[in-house]
Structure formats: C-alpha cells, structure tokens
C-alpha cells in the first residue's frame, strides 16, 4: 500500500465525511457496534493467535493482559460506542455569529480537523475507541496499532470499516497501516494529514515530533507529583500517595515524585515510608530525606526521571511556593496533586502549577478521559496548544469562518464610504 | 543578553502574570496608553531616524509607509488599547464544571498559554498590538520586530514595559529581542517557550517551523481564490474580484486565482479582463483561458504560486464541485470566496472548501482580526490546530483541569467500591 496516495485520497474525501449528518454518523456507529457483536468469534480467534505468538516471544503478564481482547473488553468497547452515540454531535455548532455591517454576517462554525493519523500501542480496544471517536467527530483517520496484535487489529478494522461504508460513509474514511515502515511514510504526508496523535513511550513520541512537519498532539512524559502540605490530613495523604504510585505504575498519570513540607517531614515521612514499603515501593530521596527514612540518595537532576515502576523519588520543600517551583521546573506539566485542608494554599497551588491537571486531595490517577466523563479519549496531551489533558471529541474539532455578504469590498471600508458596526446575533 | 536565561526567568514568572486580576491587567493597559501618549515626541524622533536610515538604504514607498509611525498610527494603536480594555477578560472562565462523584468536582478553567515568542515584520504598530494582546491574555511575551524600525521599537518597548511594571505586573512579563541571531536562540528554548508566532514571508515562517520543537502558529501561504459561479451576479463579481486582487496586493488575504464556471466563460471573462486591465493587473491563465482573453499561458502547477503582486491566475472549472477540488488541492486553506446568488451552491462551497475562511459574495480581503471585530490580531493562522483564521485574544488562551476531592483514590473506582455519576453543575 502506498500511504501517500491513500492519504491524498483521504484528504479529498474528508470534506464529504465532514458533511455527513449526525444521524448518519450515529447510524454508522450503531452498525459498527452490531457488527462487532456479530463478529465476536472471528475477533476472539484472531486474538488467540496473537496471544499465542506473544507468549512464544516471552512477553510479561502485564503486557499479555493488554493484548488480550475477550468478552469483557468487547462488552466495554461496545458500551463505549453506545455512550459515544448519545454524546452531542460536535460538528456544525455556531460558536460566534456577528453582523459586521448590514448584509455582511460572520459565523464561526465548528468542523472536523480533517485527516488524523493515530499511532498507538498494541491494545485492540484502543483501535475501536480511536476509530469511533474519529468518525463521530467527522474526521478521516489513518490508524497504526502495535504489531503484537496485528491479527486482532486486522479483523477489528475490517469489521469497523465495512460497517461504516455500508451506512454511506466515504470509502476513504478509515485506513489501516500495518507495516512499521509505513509510519515514516505517514510522517511525510504533511500536505494531506492535518494532525498526528502518537501514543506510546516517551522516546517514540519524541521521535515522531522530530521527524514530521505535521502538527503533533501527544504527551512525551508523565512526571506527576504529590505534594503533602503542612496542613495535610495524613489519613487522606497516605492512601492517595499509594494509589497514585501503585494503582497502575506503567500509566503516565502515576506519581513519580513525592514532595513534603519540611515542617512535617519528621511526622509524615516515617508513615509514608511504611505504607510505601508495604506496597512494594522503593524510595529514592535527597540527602536530607535519608536523615528521616531509608532511601537511595539521588541528586536534583534525577527528579526529571519517569520511572513507570515501583520507585518513588522524595524531596522536602519549604511550603507550597517551593513545591510549585519544583513542579514547574522538573515536572512534565501532566497532572500534579496537593494534599491539604487549607483552601488558600490549595488555591495557590492550583493557580501556580502549570500543568494540564491540578488536583487537591485526590489521586493523580484520575487524569483520564473516561474518568472525566468524556466517553473515551484518543490520548492525553501535555502540550498547551489546541487540547490539554485527556482528549475526547472536542479535541478533534476545529472551526471555520463563514462570511456571507452582498457584494461588499474592503475598499469601501478603507475609504470610509462604509463602516463596521459589529453586532453579535 | 542571553535569551535562554531570560526565557527561563520568564517561564518562572509566567504563573504570576497568569494570576493577575482583570483589573490589574486593565490598569496596566491604561497606563501603557497614557505613557505612549506622553512619550509621543520621543517615539516620533526615533521613528524619524529609522526612516532616514531606511531612505538611505533605498526602500520602496510601500515599505516606507509601513515603517512610518506618526500621529495617525499612534492614535490608532491607542484606540486599539482602549478597545482591548473593554473586551471581557479571557482568563479564569469556567468552561466545564462536573461532579464526577460525591465530593469530587472537576472544572476546566481557561488560562494563559504561558510564554509566547512573536517574531514580526518591521511595523511599529504591530509591536504595540502584540504586546498589549499578550498582557490582556495574561501571557508573557518575547518580541522580535523587524530591524528596519529598531530605534522606534526600542522606545516603544521601553515605554510599554515600564508602564506595565509600574502597575505591578512582573518584571519579566515582556522581553525585547533585538539581534537577528537571538531568533535562533529563541528557537532552542523549547523547555520555556510554549508557542511561537512568526509573521512575515512564506520562506521565513517555513524556516521557523523547520528549526524548532516549539509549537508554531503561523501561516505559510495565502493563496486565496475567487470562484465565479454560473449563478453569479456580475455586478457583484467584478468589484469583489478587483478589490480582492488590488486593494492591498502584498497582503496574505489578497486573491491569487480566479476560477470561472466554464458555462459563463464567454460572457464573464472579457468583462473581468477589462476591469483587471484597468486596475493594472496582468492575467495568466490556462490554454483554454487564452482562447477567450489575452493572457500569459501557465500550467496547473503554477496555481500553487503566491504572487503578492498585480498578477492574477485564471482557470475554468465545471461548476462548484471542481472549484472546491481545485481550491483544496492548490490553495493554502486561508480564505476563499464564491460569487453566486444560488444558496444551495454557496452552501456546498462553504461546506466543502477546507479553508479558515469561506466567503459568499464578498472580498477575501475581509479576513482580518479588526474586520472580524476581535479588536486586534497577533496573526492569521492557516493551520487547523488551536486557532484558525485571524487570531485574537482567544487564540492566546488554553485551559487547565482542576479536580478537588476529599481523599478519593482510583483503586476504589477500579474495584467497584465506588462509582462515577457524572453530573454537570
């Protein structure tokens, strides 16, 4: 397959998909849900062959779980599609309507971005979520999933694509890339692809950013902090800290660093150390921390590391000001939490910490499209441009300006023969 | 000056500027307007020396006009600042408020992007507009203006910066870069600068995009079209076409290509040719066009060229479908107009043309922040990510998610001990 040619075909088809009505898109989603249900045995069989090959290659239990696509996961993606159908159509909303002058009306109307390339890890449920989010938002999508679930992906993609086309969506609405070298081809399609969403390791996202002219919406790091303030309730702090670290260590929203107000270090650190030890977490800390608890000593620059493992870095700070400064300097602007009962201190933290998510008295692990009630997410953005944090339907939408006149020229306004009156409608 | 160090200082100061109240920012804007008025003689003297040097270097009259900063331009930028003060504060708006579960409330709050680098052409009024737009939106800004007005820029910047700081805004809220090599230093500040907005030539914007990891919001081309449909009113078509081409040929929103429905070519082309000739415009066209009017013959690929001059490329098409396809293939997604009295044809055009501005029966030259009633603009984006078309205050804003809990952990939701109820507040 020639990705460049296919991407160009997709570009030409994209206004047709953008023009599809909400009803048509919802019908297609409904057909996709039904077809997935009807094709379950074929899907599971493909997945069993992927799993067998993966076992042979000696993958870990954690990865095995991610590759597996069973009844439970099928039910959950189908429930996700049903939720997506119920969500309001994000396309065609009038975001601004203004009469510039008599007979000259400007409207800003929401519309799909166009052609989106998504490169994601080996997780069959992600393929279903991403493709249906793109269709609901009227975007054509090129999907490249992880090779470990190639057979499952091929079956899922075939079912989804056929169901979409059978409901009248354009043939080129979805495309699957299967070969790794097709990623590099995709990166060169800056004339036809409007946005890339890479998911995966830090190094991988960085590689994508460095090798394309297409705008990239991805996150490159998840260095999340829990700051325990002098006014913290320890009964909240300990379970939150443990949850943020261990509930799913490989997730980008897992905590990597614990900051503790120096004035409570003697009381809090031993409690935290015990709870973390019970949870199997190894502690690293500054020299000062090692005076309170057993920890491997680390230097300031080590606080830039994303462990994604049962390891936590610990540092003492002089109050919320230094905590915010540390987070803004060493963090990755993903999600950071303060544990405090002091509303003023919390407000300062939430105002000053420059991250997509700023939390008080809850776990950083809540940073997720499902948990925010977005139905699904295509990824979590740590950039500040376009979309920030978990990206759902809204993040796949842009707008265009429509101006309807009756013969107006700018010369008439420049010369003063006519003038604008700007009245919002 | 070490731009990297200064940018890092600015990054640390940016949450402080973001936390400034609307009143404080408006006071600063008001102080800036007063200080500019008070410093008028010093500004004009600096501008006279810039103009003298430019004359000596032999610049054209058109450029001379752009460099000149006189009473009229001062009045107009001060009026712009007064307008900006009256605009609603874009920071701190609650964009979403949702109870995820009892005692767990999510809010999406608008906030400044942070640190923005703007590189712009030699136009002193642009320096005033950009710096005040950035301050109103709570963003720190690094400004690099064209060297031909270096003396004027230095005086303007000094006045603006001092007035801002005297009202309590952080010392590092604004920074001026003066040397060309400082641009390359700025491009390397991807850890501290959140967004770059380059203005200027196509090649320059492309250079910036190719040499930085910082997100870039710029336009690289302005290949705008006027399509004259078979249902066009020629009385509207001719003045709009002439205005779109000649009202300001050097602007990105000037028309470069005329598309004409083949069925009206014999009637329309001679009329258009006469009007364009009278306006001093040279016509280039496909072989077919030369059968109707005198024109230099060009090939399909020539339709990708941005002339920014008194030259217009002409092509015949089979109706609105082919017009839209030509525009989507050869255009730059900036602004494109259809001339037609047929509402259905217009709707098709506006839906199918994939540009920031889609117009009916008016000149492409209306694509501009002032003419849209935005008060001012920092540039016009032909990208689709974050902001599209003229970029005013809203384009300088992002958001963050605040989540306030009372000890919640994700483990409790994963295990089913608790569940989300998602109630919008």
Which CATH superfamily hosts domain A224-366? Answer: Aldehyde Dehydrogenase; Chain A, domain 2 (3.40.309.10)
Of A16, A356, A372, the CB nearest to B400: A356
Q: Within a 10 A sphere around the Cβ of B52, how many other Cβ atoms?
A: 11
Q: Which two tokens stand for residue B289?
A: 């066009």
CATH 3.40.605.10 domain position(s) in chain A: 3-218+383-401
State mean pLDDT over A1-15. Answer: 93
Averaged confidence pLDDT in chain A: 94
For residue B128 the two structure tokens come to: 């005033």
Cα B296–B300–B305 angle (5° rounding)?
75
Q: Is the CB of residue B315 less than 8 Å from the CB of residue B326?
A: yes
Residues of chain A with CATH 3.40.309.10: 224-366
The answer to whether the Cβ–Cβ distance between A373 and B243 falls below 8 Å is no
Q: Which CATH architecture has domain A3-218+383-401?
A: 3-Layer(aba) Sandwich (3.40)
- C-alpha B418/C-alpha B412 separation (Å) is 6
Interchain proximity A239–B409, CB inside 8 Å: yes
In this predicted structure, what is the pLDDT of residue A209? 87
Q: Which residues of B touch A346 (CB under 8 A)?
A: 404
Q: Which among A13, A410, A415, A422 is the top mutation candidate for probing chain B, defined by the most B β-carbons within 10 Å of its own β-carbon?
A: A410
Measured over the CA atoms of residue A365, residue A366, residue A371 and residue A372, the dihedral's sign is negative
pLDDT number for residue A203: 83
Assess A361–B contact: CB distance below 8 Å, yes or no. yes
From B333, which residue of chain A is nearest by alpha-carbon distance? A400
- The residues of chain B scoring below 70 in pLDDT are 220
- Look at A217 and B405 and tell me if their CB atoms are within 8 Å: no
* Rounded-to-integer distance, Cα B176 and Cα B162, Å: 13
Domain with CATH 3.40.605.10 in chain B: 3-219+379-401
Q: Which of A235, A191, A254 has the alpha carbon at shortest distance from A341?
A: A235
Residue (of B364, B100, B60) closest to A401 by Cα position: B364
Domain B3-219+379-401: assigned CATH number: 3.40.605.10
Over residues A18-23, mean pLDDT: 96
CA A253: distance to chain centroid? 11
* pLDDT value at residue A172: 96
Distance between alpha carbon B49 and the CA centroid of its chain, in Å?
A: 29
Is it the case that residue A292 has pLDDT exceeding 90?
Answer: yes
* Cβ neighbours, 10 Å, residue A360: 23
Residue B149 and residue B158: Cα distance in Å, rounded? 14
Neighbouring residues of B421: CB distance < 8 A, sequence distance ≥ 6:
B99, B100, B101, B102
Closest partner residue to B403 (CB to CB) among A359, A385, A401 is A359
In the prediction, which pLDDT does B283 show? 97
Does residue A215 sit at the B interface (CB-CB below 8 Å)? yes
What are the chain B neighbours of A398 within 8 Å (beta carbons)? 384-385, 388
Average pLDDT over residues A208-213: 89
- Residue A201's pLDDT is what? 78
B352 touches chain A (CB under 8 A): yes
Q: Give me chain B's average pLDDT, please.
A: 94
Give me A321's structure tokens: 């000001």
Q: Do B233 and A388 touch (CB under 8 A)?
A: no
Neighbours of A327 (CB within 10 A): 27
In Å, how far is A408's CA from the nearest CA of chain B? 5
Nearest-CB residue to A19 (from B16, B351, B385) = B351
A62 interface with B at CB cutoff 8 Å: no
Instruction: Compute the nearest-CA separation of A15 from chain B (Å).
Output: 5
pLDDT tens-digit map of A64-103: 888 999 999 999 899 989 989 999 999 999 999 999 999 9
pLDDT grade for A42, boundaries at 50, 70 and 90: very high
Q: Which chain B residues are closer than 8 Å to A404 by Cβ?
A: 346, 359-362
A15 → closest Cβ in B351, B371, B411: B351
Q: What is the Cα–Cα distance from A136 to A180, expressed in whole angstroms?
A: 27
Within B270-396, strands assigned E span 282-285, 296-297, 311-317, 335-339, 357-362, 379-381, 389-391
User: DSSP assignment of A204-261, as one string?
Assistant: HHHHHHHT-SS-B-------EEEEE-TT--HHHHHHHHHHHHHTTTTSTTSEEEEEEE
Report the predicted TM-score, pTM, of the whole model to 2 decimal places.
0.91
As a whole number of angstroms, the distance between CA B396 and CA A327 comes to 23
- Which residue of A217, A373, A403 is in closest CB contact with B420? A373
């Amino acid at each position: 397959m020639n990705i460049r040619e296919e991407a160009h075909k997709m570009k030409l088809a994209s206004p047709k998909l953008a023009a599809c009505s909400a009803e048509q898109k919802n019908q297609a989603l409904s057909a996709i849900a039904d077809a997935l249900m009807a094709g379950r045995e074929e899907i599971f069989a493909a997945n069993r062959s992927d799993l067998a090959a993966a076992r042979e290659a000696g993958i870990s239990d954690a990865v095995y779980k991610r590759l597996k696509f069973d009844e439970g996961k099928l039910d959950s993606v189908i429930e996700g599609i049903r939720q997506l159908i119920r969500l309001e159509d994000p396309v065609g909303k009038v975001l601004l309507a203004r009469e510039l002058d008599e007979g000259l009306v400007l409207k800003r109307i929401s519309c799909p971005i166009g052609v989106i390339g998504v490169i994601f890890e080996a997780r069959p449920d992600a393929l279903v979520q991403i493709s249906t989010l793109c269709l609901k938002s009227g975007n054509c999508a090129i999907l490249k999933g992880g090779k470990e679930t190639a057979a499952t992906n091929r079956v899922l993609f075939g079912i989804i694509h056929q169901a979409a086309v059978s409901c009248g969506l354009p043939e080129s609405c979805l495309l699957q890339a299967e070969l790794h070298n097709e990623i590099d081809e995709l990166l060169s399609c800056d004339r036809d692809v409007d946005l890339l969403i890479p998911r995966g390791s830090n190094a991988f996202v960085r590689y994508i950013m460095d090798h394309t002219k297409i705008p990239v919406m991805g996150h490159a790091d998840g260095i999340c902090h829990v700051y325990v303030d002098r006014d913290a309730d320890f009964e909240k702090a300990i379970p939150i800290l443990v949850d943020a670290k261990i509930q799913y260590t490989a997730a980008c929203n897992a905590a990597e660093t614990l900051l503790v107000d120096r004035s409570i270090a003697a009381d809090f650190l031993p409690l935290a150390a015990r709870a973390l030890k019970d949870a199997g977490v190894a502690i690293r800390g500054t020299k000062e921390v090692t005076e309170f608890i057993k920890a491997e000593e680390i230097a300031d620059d080590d606080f830039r590391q994303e462990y994604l493992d049962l390891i936590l870095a610990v540092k003492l700070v002089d109050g919320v000001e230094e905590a915010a400064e540390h987070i803004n300097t060493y963090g990755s602007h993903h999600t950071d939490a303060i544990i405090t009962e002091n509303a003023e201190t919390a407000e300062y933290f939430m105002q000053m910490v420059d991250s997509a998510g700023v939390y008080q008295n809850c776990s950083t692990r809540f940073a997720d499209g499902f948990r925010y009630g977005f139905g699904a997410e295509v990824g979590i953005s740590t950039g500040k441009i376009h979309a920030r944090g978990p990206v759902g339907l809204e993040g796949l939408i842009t707008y265009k300006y429509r101006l309807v006149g009756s013969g107006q020229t700018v010369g008439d306004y420049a010369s003063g023969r006519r003038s604008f009156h700007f009245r919002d409608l």
